[in-house]
Amino acid sequence: MNDANDSRQKDLPKRNEYFSYPKECETVEANSFERNNIRLSVEKRVEALQKGYRQNIGIIGQEGVGKSHLLYTIYESLVENPDLLVVSIRAEALNYEFLVDHWIGAVLTSLFLNLKLFPPENLQSLLRDLAPIIPRTIEKIRHLKKMLRRGECNTASVRELFSLTGAIAEETHKKILFLIDEFQSLESLPAPDPFGLLGREIMVEKETLYLVTSSKPEKAQEIFHDKLSLLFGNFEVIELATLGYEETAEFMQKKQPGFSFSEIQKKFMLKMTDGFPAYLDLLLEQLGICFPVSHAALNGATEKGKIEVPTERLLVAFQKEIYDHRGRLALIFEKRVQDCRRFAKDSASYVYALLAICSGKRKLNAIASHIERKTRETKKILDRLAQEELITKCGAFYIIKDFLFRFWLQEVFYRKNQLHAPHSVMAAEGFSAALQKNYENVGTEIKSEVSDKAEALFKDFRNDLVEIDGRKWRCPQFSEVIMRKSHERLITLLARAARFKWVCKIATEPVQEEDILLFQEDVKRFRKRVQRKVFIILAGIEQNAKLLAQESKILLWDLHSFNTLLDLYNLPKIVIVKEPHGSNLGTVEEVVHSA
């Protein structure tokens, strides 16, 4: 063992050689955002763990927002900590046996790296070389492997698997940071209640801090709330949001540093991609192919003399990635539709439901009528699509949140499936026209007032039940909507119906305590009781002002909530150039809950 150690010690590559990014991360590595605030927060949690306090963390967010890359940067920043074993696994696996080997290998590799040794590539060598150092853990692993060979893929073997980190922590006297990517996939383990088992193990293993991620936010929230809300096992849940305007602009500049993008082009990219780093990365890479510029020209471009990107080239990049069947985004979206085939024999109904929603049908009856199915049958179809998180249910509404996927369904998938010939110039022209129209609309929307969109939204209410971020309220049909400016920083909207009166304030600057006090004074002036007080806070809110608003029962709609409402009613979203204030997490949403 000593000779082997000496050999590996000498051959251990430099950090930048050994810890290179996996191939699938290469295109994102230099350009995606590491979300430094979260990384620093994790490092503080690790410091607290070493002092005897543990707070597990769950990071949730839609696919493509950069969770896996964030996990990797956290791994790199902490793997050299001498007092910490950093274990990293991806819960998605071919089968249980494969996951067990992956899990064991990750646990043992963490010790090799902690000892500054180059880890062997196969599991048997890992077991052999570490047997003299952690004999009890190795014996436990061999026992688990024997169980699998005997066909005992059951609750007992899952319990043994979960307990490995506790065993190595006890034997090495080191703390463990356990990173689990897409942890919701552990539900496929061969046990009736795998998360119940994990929760009990987390409660016992106080030397292990769990940091998990999930691309299924609703599923993950359910697991955190129902299965992992145990004493000493609580998870601080953070939602990793998509990029805002400033971050999108910075991302574009980092990906294509020699190019200069106009404000409309930046907003167009944000509107089409919703700020998903993965989408932006692929489209900007395609732009570099569609608009080739010599390296000499790019390297010679100064900040003032950058090469302006022609809009037609930007649109061609979209066409190559989305309309062309060989485009990477087109293949990703095509796979989502193909996955519907495993839902039922009549998979077409699920696809028709998706097309109905992206065409503007948002409610159950309208969707049922569009796909020519009974209401009860349509509800089952929608429930399954929501379960797979292809759509989201917001009260009485159903929506596809991913704008680019929605655009592809309507302008590419639907058009191509209506063709009467293998190739159609009309379909391609129709797609180009739709893309051009979206671009032109961005230019128009920049000039439109926020108050106009708020007024249009309130006029579209039809006594609808709405649910956003777990909060429900009913939006009555108003007979009168009046807009007036009541303060230099605020806009007031009054909405009346026979039995309802709403007062709404709109702020495009960060809301302060005095703004809430002003709102309270305005409400007192009304003779009749106000049923609902709403504050649209597009640029964030100070903490004291937020607490005061909650005490006054003022409903707060931030940029995300307001844009979701606009989307539900088929109204264009708002892009705020200046990022919201009031959160130390940047584009990361506030902590959703501590289970």
Note whether 574 and 454 are within 8 A (CB). no
| CATH number of the domain where residue 537 is located | 3.40.1350
Judge if 259 and 340 occupy the same domain: yes
Within a domain: residue 584? no
Sequence-separated (6 or more) residues with CB below 8 Å from residue 425: none
Residue 150's pLDDT band (cuts 50, 70, 90): very high
Q: Which of 186, 211, 239 is the last residue of a domain?
A: 239
> CA 146 to CA 156: how far, in whole Å?
12
Q: Which of 423, 445, 467 is the last residue of a domain?
A: 445
Between strands 235-239 and 56-60, the pairing is parallel
Q: pLDDT tens digits for 484-523? A: 866 677 899 999 998 889 999 999 899 999 999 999 998 8
Judge if 216 and 253 occupy the same domain: no
Judge if 228 and 332 occupy the same domain: no
Judge if 162 and 273 occupy the same domain: no
Element housing 126 (H / E): helix 123-130
Residue 421's pLDDT band (cuts 50, 70, 90): low
Within a domain: residue 459? yes
- Residues 26-44, mean pLDDT to the nearest whole number: 62
Q: pLDDT tens digits for 11-29? A: 443 333 333 333 333 334 3
Judge if 155 and 122 occupy the same domain: yes
Within a domain: residue 399? yes
Range of the domain at 133: 2-239
Q: Is 503 exposed, middle or buried (0-12, 13-18, 19+ CB in 10 A)?
A: buried
Q: Would you mind telling me the total number of residues written for the chain in this entry?
A: 595
Q: Is 444 exposed, middle or buried (0-12, 13-18, 19+ CB in 10 A)?
A: exposed
Residue 281's pLDDT band (cuts 50, 70, 90): very high
> Tell me, what's the pLDDT at 579?
52
Share of the chain above pLDDT 70, in %: 87
Other C-beta atoms closer than 10 Å to the C-beta of 51 total 7
- Residues 271-298, mean pLDDT to the nearest whole number: 86
Q: pLDDT tens digits for 430-462? A: 999 999 999 999 888 766 688 899 999 999 999
> Total domain count for the chain?
3
Sequence-separated (6 or more) residues with CB below 8 Å from residue 1: 129, 132, 133
- Residues 198-221, mean pLDDT to the nearest whole number: 92
Within a domain: residue 169? yes
Mean pLDDT of the chain: 86
Q: pLDDT tens digits for 332-358? A: 999 999 999 888 888 899 999 999 999
> Tell me, what's the pLDDT at 12?
41
Q: Which of 224, 239, 254 is the last residue of a domain?
A: 239
> CA 91 to CA 181: how far, in whole Å?
6
Within a domain: residue 593? no
Within a domain: residue 594? no
Q: pLDDT tens digits for 85-141? A: 999 999 998 899 999 999 999 999 999 999 999 999 899 999 999 999 999 999 999
Note whether 268 and 442 are within 8 A (CB). yes
Residue 69's pLDDT band (cuts 50, 70, 90): confident
- Residues 409-437, mean pLDDT to the nearest whole number: 87
> Tell me, what's the pLDDT at 446?
67
Q: How many helices (H) and strands (E) does the chain have?
A: 28, 17
> CA 82 to CA 387: how far, in whole Å?
42
Q: What's CA 141's distance to the chain center, in Å? A: 35
> CA 89 to CA 178: how far, in whole Å?
8
Within a domain: residue 583? no
> Tell me, what's the pLDDT at 230?
74
Judge if 350 and 465 occupy the same domain: no
Q: At how many degrees (to 10) do helices 277-290 and 311-318 cross? A: 120
| CATH number of the domain where residue 72 is located | 3.40.50.300
Note whether 61 and 215 are within 8 A (CB). yes
> Tell me, what's the pLDDT at 11?
44
For residue 564 the two structure tokens come to 């979701």
Nearest to 72, CA basis, from 84, 90, 55:
90
- Residues 208-214, mean pLDDT to the nearest whole number: 96
Q: Is the pTM above the cut of 0.95?
A: no
